[in-house]
Amino acid sequence: MISAVKLEKFEGPLDLLLQLVELEKMNISEIALSEVTDQFLLYLNKLEGNRSEELADFLVIATKLVYLKSRTLLPYLYPEEDDGPSLADQLKLYKQYIEASKKILILWEQNRIAYGRIEPPVKPDGFVLPGNAQTTDLHRSMLALVARLRPISALPTATIDHTISVKHKIESIYNLVKSRRHLNFKDLLASAYNRTEVIISFLALLELVKDSKASVHQKDAYSDMEVRAV
């Protein structure tokens, strides 16, 4: 069912999601979103190479999708409750601004430009030192600028590694959840080769619990946790 259709270049996770939904010719709804979850995760895989710094943004949406999907898979496990603004609402809002941006582009390209006058510069009679431009003011202002110039571009590598791993875990837990009803936390850790991965698995599980309200049961302290696929 995963279509191999090539999408236009997408600018971000919401853009990708919108394109996927529109490709299926569906209106934006929770059902439509859960329908395209698999495609979304597929694109997530392709992202790793050149757009890894955007991964975190895509993961936020991916977790919401996985939650939606699991809720459609096992609706009886979810109480009927309003848990705030949904991803569908968010996407609908986003779409409104995308539509508006097309109109803005038309205005921009119309080349109707208003001009101000060019007032000939007026030279003051003598030099006046502004009250707030002493050496101490310059110094303070320069320190603030240097602090602000701290590079903002890429996420630290550690964060990227971390998000990639969380992403894999979300995927593998999601797959396990899809194929089985129950599993033990130990099973999830079976393939962990170091402590970091154990932590990551636990984080991923928490993420799922938080977002999907997947239930985790433990009989006694330190005993294995049973993860109920939700």
Give the CA angle between residues 225, 226, 228 to the nearest 5°.
140
Nearer to another protein, 97 or 217 (CB): 97
Sheet holding 182-184, edge to edge: 182-184, 225-228, 215-218
Residue whose CB is less far from another protein, 110 or 194: 110
Q: Is 229 exposed, middle or buried (0-12, 13-18, 19+ CB in 10 A)?
A: buried
Distance CA 20, CA 3 (A): 10
Closest separation in Å from C-beta 95 to another protein:
11
Q: Which is nearer to another protein, 49 or 131 (CB)?
A: 131
In sequence order, what are the beta bridge partners of 66? none
Length of the chain: 230
| Closest CB to another protein among residues 17, 177 | 17
Residues that bind another protein in the complex, under the rule CB under 8 A: 11-15, 54, 56-57, 60-61, 84-85, 89-90, 93-94, 96-98, 100-101, 103-105, 107-124, 127-139, 141-147, 149-153
The CA distance from 92 to 38, in Å, is 20
Closest CB to another protein among residues 75, 131: 131
Min dist. Cβ of residue 118 to another protein (A): 5
Q: What DSSP string describes 89-116?
A: HHHHHHHHHHHHHHHHHHHHHTT-----
Of 59 and 177, which CB lies nearer to another protein in the complex structure? Answer: 59
Alpha carbon dihedral 22, 28, 30, 36, in 10-degree steps, equals: 10
**Residue tagged 């320069």 (tokens):** 142
